[in-house]
Amino acid sequence: MVSQLIEVTAEKCGLVKAFHAQGSKQTKGLSRSSTKNKPWFDNTCNNLGKNYLQAKNRHRANKSMINFSNLRHSSKIYKKEISKKVKSFNADIVTFI
């Protein structure tokens, strides 16, 4: 009874993973499957992540104090947004159950 309730809740929240058959090969190249498995990851998170990676690449190319401060600023914004989204998603799951 309880296990069925957990299974139904997980399916409704999109937390059930699909498994590949043994011997099947994944396609080469980059895929967005890592973001598809995270229902809390939206366009805002994606854009902030892109900004963070751009700042990181700029800092690697030219290690100046301006690039370093931009890297730290974009890193803080990105991590705070991810933390906020995960906490709100987990709170929604708890209230849903």
Number of domains in the chain: 1
Report the percent of the chain where pLDDT is more than 70. Answer: 64
The whole-number average pLDDT for the span 17-24 is 54
In a domain, 28, yes or no: no
In a domain, 71, yes or no: yes
- Which sign, positive or negative, has the C-alpha torsion 29, 32, 68, 66? positive
In a domain, 54, yes or no: yes
Gap between the Cα atoms of 97 and 93, Å rounded: 6
List, for residues 46-91, the tens digit of each pLDDT value.
999 999 999 999 999 999 999 999 999 999 999 999 999 999 999 9
- 92 or 65, which is more confident: 65
Q: Which domain holds residue 49?
A: 35-97
The per-residue pLDDT of the chain, averaged, comes to 80
